[in-house]
A and B are shown apart, each in its own frame.
Chain A
Amino acid sequence: DTEVTQTPKHLVMGMTNKKSLKCEQHMGHRAMYWYKQKAKKPPELMFVYSYEKLSINESVPSRFSPECPNSSLLNLHLHALQPEDSALYLCASSQEVGQGKYNEQFFGPGTRLTVL
Chain B
Amino acid sequence: AQKITQTQPGMFVQEKEAVTLDCTYDTSDPSYGLFWYKQPSSGEMIFLIYQGSYDQQNATEGRYSLNFQKARKSANLVISASQLGDSAMYFCAMGRNTGFQKLVFGTGTRLLVSP
A90 at the interface (CB under 8 A from B): yes
Which chain B residues in 88-115 approach chain A with CB under 8 Å? Answer: 91, 95-103, 105-108
Flag if A94 contacts B101 (CB, 8 Å): yes
Contacts A41-B107, A92-B45, A108-B44 given: A103-B98 contact, CB under 8 Å? yes
Query: A50–B97 Cα gap in the complex (Å)?
Result: 16
User: B106 to A109, Cβ gap below 8 A?
Assistant: no
Q: What chain B residues lie within 8 Å of A101 (beta carbons)?
A: 49-50, 52, 59
**A42, chain B: closest CB distance, angstroms:** 4
Task: Enumerate chain B residues within 8 angstroms of A100, measured Cβ to Cβ.
Answer: 33, 50, 52, 55, 97
Answer yes or no: A105 CB below 8 A from chain B CBs.
yes
Q: Which residues of B contact A (CB under 8 A)?
A: 33, 35, 37, 42-47, 49-50, 52, 55, 59, 91, 95-103, 105-108
Nearest 6 interchain pairs by C-beta: A31-B100, A42-B105, A101-B50, A107-B45, A104-B47, A110-B43
